[in-house]
Amino acid sequence: MKLRGLRLDSHKSRPLERPIRVVPPPATLVLALDQGSGEDALPVVRPGDSVRTGSVVAAASGAAAALHSPVSGTVREIAVRPTPRGASRCIVIENDGRDDPVAPAAPVDWRAMEGTALIEHVAAAGTAGLGGAAFPSATKLALARAADAELLLLNGAECEPWICCDAALMRERAADVVLGAQVMLAASGAQRCLIAIEDDKPEAIAAIQSAARAATDERIEVRVLPAVFPLGAEGPLVAAVTGREVPHDGWPPQVGVVCQNVGTAAAVARLVQDGRPVTTRIVTVTGSGVKQPANVEACIGTPVGELVAACGGYTAEGARRIAGGSLTGRSLAGDDVPVTKGVNCILLATDADLPARAAEMPCIRCGDCATVCPAGLLPQQLHVAARSDDSAALARFGLSACIECGCCDYVCPSAIPLTVRFRAARERQHLADLERRRAREAKARYERHQRRLAEQAEAEREAFDDARRRARGPDSGGR
Amino acid sequence: MDAALAQPPHVIAGFTVPRVMFQVLGALLPVLAVQIHLFGLRPLLLVAVAAIVALACEALALHLRQRSVRPSLRDGSVLVTAALLALAVPPTLPLWQLALGATVAVLLAKHAYGGLGQNPFNPAMVGYAVLLVSFPLEMTRWPAPGGAWDAMTGATALDTLRTGLRQSYTMQEIQAGPAFGHIGATGGEWINLAALAGGLYLLARRIVRWHIPLAMLAGIAVPAALFHVFDPGAHASASFHLAAGATMLGAFFIATDPVSAATSDRGRLVYGAGIGLLTWIIRAWGAFPDGVAFAVLIMNLAVPLIDRYTVPRIYGHSG
Amino acid sequence: MNATAILAATGAVAAIAAVLGGVLGWVATRLRSDPDALVERIDALLPQTQCAQCRYPGCRPYAEAIAKGEADIDRCPPGGETTVHALAALLDREPRPVDPQYGITRAPRVALIDEDRCIGCALCLPACPVDAIVGAPRLMHTVIAAHCTGCDLCLAPCPVDCISMVAPADGQPGRAAA
pLDDT digits (tens, 9 = 90+) for A128-156: 999 888 999 999 999 999 999 999 999 99
Average confidence (pLDDT) over A396-413: 92
Q: What's the helix, strand, coil split of chain A in %, to 5?
A: 40, 20, 40
Average confidence (pLDDT) over B54-69: 91
CA closest to A380 among chain B residues: B263
pLDDT of residue B179: 65
pLDDT confidence band for B148 (50 / 70 / 90): very low
Question: Do B257 and B171 have their domain in common?
Answer: yes
Domain ranges, ordered by start, for chain A: 13-22+109-282, 357-473
A13-22+109-282 in CATH: which number?
3.40.50.11540
Contact B8 A419 (CB under 8 A): yes
List of chain A residues whose C-beta atoms are within 8 Å of the C-beta of residue B1: 320, 331
B178 part of a folded domain:
yes
CA closest to A319 among chain B residues: B1
pLDDT of residue B151: 40
List of chain A residues whose C-beta atoms are within 8 Å of the C-beta of residue C147: 441-442, 445
Q: Which of A74-88, A184-198, B210-224, C82-96 has the lowest mean pLDDT?
A: C82-96
Q: What H or E segment, with its residue span, contains residue C115? A: none
Cis peptide before A230 (omega within 30 of 0): yes
Question: Do B217 and B104 have their domain in common?
Answer: no
B248 part of a folded domain:
yes
CA closest to A454 among chain C residues: C126
Question: Do B75 and B186 have their domain in common?
Answer: no
List of chain B residues whose C-beta atoms are within 8 Å of the C-beta of residue A3: none
pLDDT of residue B67: 85
B129 part of a folded domain:
yes
Q: Which of B173-187, B244-258, B265-279, C131-145 has the lowest mean pLDDT?
A: B173-187
pLDDT of residue C176: 35
Mean pLDDT over each residue of chain A, to the nearest integer: 91
Question: Do B206 and B243 have their domain in common?
Answer: yes
What distance in Å separates residue A468's CA from the closest CA in chain C?
27
Integer-rounded Cα radius of gyration of chain A = 27
**Which among A431, A438, A451, A455 is the top mutation candidate for probing chain C, defined by the most C β-carbons within 10 Å of its own β-carbon?**
A438
Question: Do B55 and B117 have their domain in common?
Answer: yes
By the CB < 8 Å criterion, does A420 face chain B?
yes
Average confidence (pLDDT) over A37-62: 92
Question: Do B160 and B304 have their domain in common?
Answer: yes
Question: Do B45 and B72 have their domain in common?
Answer: yes
Instruction: Determine the Cα–Cα distance for residues B17 and C112; give it in Å rounded to an integer.
Output: 56
Q: What is the pLDDT of residues A269-313, one digit of tens each?
A: 999 999 889 999 999 999 999 999 999 999 999 999 999 999 999
pLDDT of residue C34: 73
Average confidence (pLDDT) over A311-328: 89
**Of residues B58 and A2, more confidently modeled:** B58
Residue B111 has pLDDT above 90, yes or no: yes
Q: Quick one: CA dihedral A89, A94, A97, A100, positive or negative?
A: negative
What distance in Å separates residue B118's CA from the closest CA in chain A?
8
Instruction: Determine the Cα–Cα distance for residues A162 and A15; give it in Å rounded to an integer.
Output: 9
Residue A479 has pLDDT above 70, yes or no: no
The residue type at B308: R
- A and B in touch (3+ CB pairs within 8 angstroms): yes
Domain edge (last residue) among B137, B167, B185: B137
- Say yes or no: do domains A13-22+109-282 and A357-473 share a fold: no
Give the neighbor-by-neighbor strand order of the sheet with A50-51: A28-32, A86-95, A73-83, A50-51
List of chain C residues whose C-beta atoms are within 8 Å of the C-beta of residue A441: 147
Integer-rounded Cα radius of gyration of chain C = 26
Contact B75 A397 (CB under 8 A): no
List of chain A residues whose C-beta atoms are within 8 Å of the C-beta of residue B5: 320, 331, 354, 356-357
Question: Given A365, A417, A420, which is nearest B258 (Cβ)?
Answer: A365
Question: Do B126 and B173 have their domain in common?
Answer: no
To the nearest whole percent, how much of chain B has pLDDT over 90?
A: 59
Contact A439 C47 (CB under 8 A): yes
Residue A347 has pLDDT above 80, yes or no: yes
- Nearest of B186, B174, B192 to residue B243 by alpha carbon: B192
Residue C29 has pLDDT above 50, yes or no: yes
Residue A391 has pLDDT above 90, yes or no: no
Whole-angstrom distance between the N-terminal and C-terminal Cα of chain C?
A: 78
Residue B202 has pLDDT above 90, yes or no: yes
B142 part of a folded domain:
no
Write out the residues of chain B at the interface with chain A, using a CB-CB cutoff of 8 A. 1-2, 4-17, 19-20, 71, 75, 77, 115-118, 209, 258-259, 261, 263-265, 268, 307, 311-318
Average confidence (pLDDT) over B173-192: 72
**ipTM rounded to 2 decimals:** 0.88
Residue B149 has pLDDT above 60, yes or no: no
Question: Do B283 and B234 have their domain in common?
Answer: yes
Mean pLDDT over each residue of chain B, to the nearest integer: 87
To the nearest whole percent, how much of chain B has pLDDT over 70?
A: 91
Domain edge (last residue) among B102, B137, B172: B137
**Of residues B287 and A351, more confidently modeled:** A351
- Nearest of C146, C118, C115, C114 to residue C130 by alpha carbon: C146
Average confidence (pLDDT) over B231-252: 88
List of chain C residues whose C-beta atoms are within 8 Å of the C-beta of residue A443: 43, 48, 59-60
Question: Do B203 and B298 have their domain in common?
Answer: yes
pLDDT of residue B185: 64
Average confidence (pLDDT) over C114-121: 86
Question: Do B288 and B169 have their domain in common?
Answer: yes
Domain range enclosing B197: 156-309
Question: Do B245 and B297 have their domain in common?
Answer: yes
Residue B150 has pLDDT above 60, yes or no: no
pLDDT of residue B183: 63
- Range C25-28, long-range pairs (CB < 8 A, 24+ positions): none
Contact B10 A365 (CB under 8 A): no
The residue type at A236: P
Which CATH code of 1.10.1060, 2.60.40, 3.40.50, 1.10.10 fits the domain covering A357-473?
1.10.1060
Residue A473 has pLDDT above 80, yes or no: no
**Of residues A237 and A436, more confidently modeled:** A237
